[in-house]
Amino acid sequence: MKGRTVKLKEAHRGNGAASVCSIIWDNSGGLLVTASSGDSTAFIHDAVQPAKPAKALRHHREGVTAIALNPTFDTLASGSIDHSVKLYSFPDGEFQSNVTRFTLPIRALAFNKSGSLLAAAGDDDGIKLIATVDSSISRVLKGHNGSVTGLAFDPKNEFLASVDGFGTVTYWELSSGKPVHTLKSVAPNCDSDASRLNFLSWSPDGETLAVPGLKNDIVMYDRDTAEKLFTLKGDHEKPVCFLSWSPNGKYIATSGLDNQVLIWDVDQRQDIDRQKFDERISSLSWKPNANALAVIDVMGKFGVWENPVPSFMRSPTDGAINHQSRAGNGLLLFEEDDKKSSHSGSLDEIMEESHGDSIPVSSKRLRKHSVLDKSDEDSDGFLEQIVSRKKSAKSKEHLRFGGGTEECESSVRNVRPKLQEAFQPGSTPVQVGKRRFLCYNLLGSITTIENEGYSHIEVDFHDTGRGPRVPSMTDYFGFTMAALNENGSIFANPCKSTKSMSTLMYRPFGSWANNSEWSMRFEAEEVKAVALGTGWVAAVTSLNFLRIFTDGGLQRQVLCLDGPVVTATGFRNKLAVVTHASDCFSSGDQNSTHSSRLPLSPGSCLSWFGFSEEGQLCTYDSQGVLRMLTNQYGNSWLPIFSASKAKKSEDENYWMVGINANKLFCVSCKSPNSYPLVMPKPVLILLDLKFPLACSDLGADDLENEFIIRNMHLYQILEKIDENAAAGLDTTTLDDEAFDMESAIDRCILRLISTCCNADKLVRATELARLLSMDKSVKGAIKLVTTLKLPILAERFNEILEERLLNESKGVSNNSSVMDVNKAVVISNLSSSQVFANAEASKKDKNGEHEENKERKELCGNRSNEAEKSQAATMPFSKMSNNHDRTEKVIKATEKELNKKSSKEEEKQLPVKGGGTGNSSSIEVVNQKHCQRPINPFAKSSNKLEKSSTSLLDSIKKMKKTDK
C-alpha cells in the first residue's frame, strides 16, 4: 500500500449486515451526503467541521438506496426500498415533496445536466423520466429484463446510459426515448446480491462510458458507436463494483469485491495508488475542488482519502471543464445553457419538430455531423417545454433552477466555503429540550436548559469542597455563551432581533461588597465571544471590537481587531483572541490568526482554544491535533498530540477539556456523537502527550517522544527562571526542577543509546552521547558500550568526555548570563554542566579574581583526574521513579559524609601563595562552585556511594531478564 491508511467513522448503523451505501460531495467540497439501504435516514455531514452533528433526513420508512444532487446543488433527491422518491431543499435538508412512487424498491437516481429531468429506476419494469418542475412523468423507458441498478445522463444531454443486474448496458436517446445501443452481459451479474449494484459513469467530456468488466477490469465504450475502446486491467482480484471519474477526467477511482480501491491514470492505462479496507467500499465520490476522495463501505462507515493522486502528478481538478458540477452517485453534470426554447405544445410535438424520426448511427462519430449537433439547444428545448404546461410552474422553475440567467449562474459559480462561526471553548451545540454546556473546563461547568421562554443556568465545580455552592440562576436574556474561572463567571447573548440588544453579565463567586454583579448592554453590535482572567473580563463583538473590563465593571479599553472573531480565552493576566485573517480558501481550509498565523490541519476547523495549567497557549482542531505555542523555536506551534494515533477504535473521538504539563484531559465520545451530554455526567479521561513522530527504525518511539517532551518542559522551566530572576524573585525551586528535568533527560538518552547499540546505529548513539548534560552520564555511557563490546564507540565517547573536561579546565568564557546559556542548552543541546562552569569562570574573570580562578581550575583538574579513575554508577532505569524518595535520603546522607571528607582532603591539597596548606577563604571558593546547582544524584566520589547504587549495566541486565 502506497498511501496512508484511510480511517473510517460510522455514519449508518444499519442492521449489522452488508448494505448498499451511497456518498456524494456538494459543489464546494464542504458537505457530504450519505445514505444506506440498511438505514431509513440519510445524513448531511459538515466536512469542514466534522465535530458538528450531521443533519438527519428522516422521511423514508425503509432504507435509502440512492441519492442525487441537481446541478445547482439546491435540491437533493432520495430513493428508497419503500418505493418512493423524495425531494429536499439543500443544504438545509427541508422536505419538499414526494416526486413519484414505484411498485417495487428504487435502485438508482440521476439528474440531467440542467436539473429539469430526474431519472429513477429499480426493480420495476421501466425507467421513469420525471420533470422536476411539476413532478410529472415525461416518459418511461422500457427494455431491461432485470432490475436497473445504474443510471447516468450524458453530459452533452443526448443519451441516458443504464445498466441492470444481469450486466446489460443500454444507450437511450433522449430525443426519441428509444434504445440506440444494447450491450448484453458486458458487466458482472449481481442480480443475486442485494448488497451490490452494477454501476456506470460518463467521462466529464462525455466521450467515454466506463463500465465494470467481466475480468476484474473496467471497460471503456465509445459515446456514439458503443464500441469498446480500451480496458483498465490492474490488481483487482475480484470484480469491480463501483467507479468514479475525477473532475478533470484524467483519473478514475474503482472499488472491488476484494475490498480494494484503486486510482487509475486513464491516459497511461495503469493504477497509480491503492488502499485496502476491512469491508467492501460501496460508493466513491471525488471532491470537486481538491485532491481527495470520499468513500463509504457496506457497513455504513465513511471517510475521506486525502491526496489519492501523488503530489508529483497532475491534480485531479487541474483542467476540469468549466461550470462542471457533481451530482448523485458520481455523475458529472454541467450548468444549464443560457438558452430559451421557442417551441410550444406537447412533448410529442416537440419531438417531431425537433428531430423527427430517430436517426440511425452507422459509423464512429457519425453523430458529430448530424442534426443532433443541436442537442444542447433542441434537447434542452423540448425538456423546457414541459414548463409551458403550467405558467405558474414555469415561473417557479425559472427562479428555482436559474432559468439560464447570468445572476443565478454567477451565484452558483461563486459559492465558497463558509467561515467558521464564533464559538466558546468547552461549549456544546443547542439541543432542543435538553440541557447543554455553555462552558466546561478543568474547574467546573456551566449548563443551561430552556423552559417556557426562559432558561435555567447552573454552575457546578468538579471539586465540591472548594467552597459554597453557587446558586442557580434564572436566565431571562437567553445567554448562549459563558466563561468560568476561580473568581467568577461571565455570560453573554446575541441580539435576538433588530430591536433587542446584546447583554454581557459578570457574576463573581465571592465579594466583600453586596451587589457586585454587573451587566453591559450593546446597541448595534452583539457579543460573539467572552473570556476571563485575573481581575479582568473581555468581550469580542460583531464590530470586531475587543472590549476589556475590570472585574468590578470598569470599562478599561476598547481595541480593534483585524477580522471576525473565532474564539477567545483567558488565563491570569493573559488574553488570547483568534480572528479570521481572510476568507476561506477554495479547499475549505480556514485562515485564522491570534498574533500570528494559527496552524490547522488541512480541511479542519478550530474546535478548542485555551491555556494549559502552566500558562501555555494551546489549540485543538477537528482533525484531533493538539498544538502548543512555544518560543523555543521562534514563536512556533508544536503538535504535541494526535487523536488518530491515540484512538482505540474508528468510531471514537475526543472532546477537549484541558491540558497540563504531561496530560491531556478530554471526554471520549462514540460516533456519531462528537460532544458529551450533560446527563449522564461526562467522565474525564487522561491521555499522555505524544508528538506525531514517524515510525522510527529503532522501534523506540516512546523514548524519542519522552526525550522531546522533556526538552520542551525544560525550556519552559528555564523561561520561568528568567522571568522570576528579572522580577527579583527566588528561583531556587525552579533551579531544582531544572536539574531534575536534566537528570531525567540524561536517563532517557542513556536508554536511547542502549537501543541504538542493540540496533547497530552507532552514529546516532554518538549524537546522543553529545546531548548528555552530566559528565557522570557520559561515563556511564562509556561503561555501557564497553560492556557491549563496542570499542570504537567507547573510544568516541571517551573523546567526547575528554573534550568536555578540557573545556571545563580551560574555563572557556561566554558573554551570556547563566540562564541565557541554559536556554541555548535546550536549543543547541550543549552540556549544562559545561555551561555552568563556563558562566562561573566568566564571572570570576570579570571581577578580576584571577588568582582564585587559577587555583579553582587546578583543583577542577585534580578532581577530574580522580573522577576518571573511579567508575560511574547510576540507579536502574526501571526503579528510578519508584524508589526516588528512598534513594534521595540515601544520597543526601552519603553526600554529607562525602562533603566532610572531601573538604578536609581539599583543604590539605589546595595550594596557596604562601606555599602551605589551604585556608578557609580558599575552601569557600570550592564550596561556591558546588553550591551553584543542587546535588547531582548520579555523582559519587567514594566507594561507599558506589555500593549504595546499582550500576547501569546491572539495571540493563535486570530489564532484559524481566522482558524475557
897 vs 144, higher pLDDT: 144
pLDDT at 501: 86
Is 725 within 8 Å of 819 (Cβ atoms)?
yes
pLDDT at 591: 55
Mean pLDDT, all residues of the chain: 77
pLDDT at 191: 78
796: pLDDT strictly greater than 80 = yes
> CB within 8 A of 25, min separation 6: which ones?
31, 32, 47, 285, 286, 287, 288, 294, 326
pLDDT at 403: 44
Q: How far apart are CA 398 and CA 390, in angstroms?
A: 12
| Three-state secondary structure readout of 897-954 | HHHHHHHHHHHHHCCCCCCCCCCHHHHHHHHHHHCCCCCCCCCCCCHHHHHHCCCHHH
pLDDT tens, 420-456? 899 999 999 987 778 999 999 999 999 999 876 688 9
* Mean local confidence (pLDDT), 681-688: 93
* DSSP secondary structure code for residue 635 in this structure: S
pLDDT at 277: 93
pLDDT at 195: 78
pLDDT at 322: 53
pLDDT tens, 722-781? 999 999 999 999 999 999 999 999 999 999 999 999 999 999 999 999 999 998 999 999
**What is the spatial order of strands in the sheet that 652-659 belongs to?**
652-659, 663-670, 684-688
* Mean local confidence (pLDDT), 459-485: 87
Which residues face 575 on adjacent strands? 570
pLDDT at 820: 36
- The string of DSSP letters for 433-473 reads TS-EEEEE-SSEEEEEEEETTEEEEEEEESSGGGSSPPPPE
Q: pLDDT grade, residue 32 (50/70/90)?
A: very high
pLDDT tens, 369-427? 333 343 444 444 444 444 444 444 444 334 333 444 444 444 434 445 678 899 999 99
Task: Please give the backbone phi and psi of residue 106, each rounded to the nearest 5 degrees, phi first.
Answer: -85, 145
Q: pLDDT grade, residue 631 (50/70/90)?
A: confident
Q: Cα angle vertex 375, ends 369, 378, to 5°? A: 125
Q: How far apart are CA 268 and CA 251, in angstroms?
A: 10
Residue 780, classed as helix, strand or coil, is helix
Q: Return the minimum-mean-pLDDT range out of 203-217, 294-308, 381-395, 540-554.
A: 381-395
Q: pLDDT grade, residue 963 (50/70/90)?
A: low
pLDDT tens, 815-855? 433 333 333 333 223 232 333 333 333 433 444 444 444 44
pLDDT at 904: 45
Q: pLDDT grade, residue 581 (50/70/90)?
A: confident
> CB within 8 A of 209, min separation 6: which ones?
152, 161, 169, 200, 201, 202, 203, 220, 221, 222, 223, 226
pLDDT tens, 912-947? 333 333 333 332 333 333 334 444 443 434 343 343
Q: Return the minimum-mean-pLDDT range out of 181-190, 225-234, 579-588, 889-898.
A: 889-898
Q: How far apart are CA 6 and CA 295, in angstroms?
A: 9
469: pLDDT strictly greater than 70 = yes
Closest to 329 in 3D by CA, of 626, 771, 34, 568: 34
pLDDT at 319: 83
Distance of CA 507 to the CA centre of its chain: 36
Closest to 117 in 3D by CA, of 178, 60, 177: 177
252: pLDDT strictly greater than 50 = yes
Q: How many helices (H) and strands (E) does the chain have?
A: 18, 53
Closest to 774 in 3D by CA, of 694, 865, 817, 835: 835
110: pLDDT strictly greater than 80 = yes
Count CB atoms within 10 A of the CB of residue 411: 12
pLDDT at 942: 38
> CB within 8 A of 316, min separation 6: which ones?
246, 247, 248, 250, 251, 286, 291, 308, 309
pLDDT at 80: 95
**Which amino acid belongs to residue 223?**
R
Could you tell me whether strands 652-659 and 201-202 are parallel, antiparallel, or unpaired per DSSP bridges?
unpaired
Q: pLDDT grade, residue 635 (50/70/90)?
A: confident
pLDDT at 590: 61
Is 640 within 8 Å of 691 (Cβ atoms)?
yes
Task: Please give the backbone phi and psi of residue 437, each rounded to the nearest 5 degrees, phi first.
Answer: -90, 125
Q: How far apart are CA 280 and CA 124, in angstroms?
A: 27
pLDDT tens, 306-364? 999 998 899 999 887 654 443 334 333 333 333 333 333 334 433 333 333 333 433 34
Task: Express the helix, strand and coil content of the chain in percent, nearest 5 each.
Answer: 25, 30, 40
133 vs 366, higher pLDDT: 133
> CB within 8 A of 322, min separation 6: which ones?
none
Diameter of the chain by CA atoms? Answer: 128
Phi/psi region, residue 235 (left: phi>0; alpha: psi -120 to 50; beta: rest), is alpha
Is 788 within 8 Å of 956 (Cβ atoms)?
no
906: pLDDT strictly greater than 60 = no
Distance of CA 118 to the CA centre of its chain: 37
pLDDT tens, 518-532? 999 998 899 999 999
Query: Which residue spans within 441-585 are E strands per DSSP?
Result: 444-451, 454-461, 473-475, 481-484, 488-493, 502-508, 518-522, 527-533, 536-541, 545-550, 555-560, 565-571, 574-580
Residue 691, classed as helix, strand or coil, is coil
H helix runs in 653-790, sequence order: 701-726, 732-758, 762-770, 775-787
Q: pLDDT grade, residue 73 (50/70/90)?
A: confident
* Mean local confidence (pLDDT), 77-106: 93
pLDDT at 842: 40
* Mean local confidence (pLDDT), 166-178: 92
902: pLDDT strictly greater than 80 = no
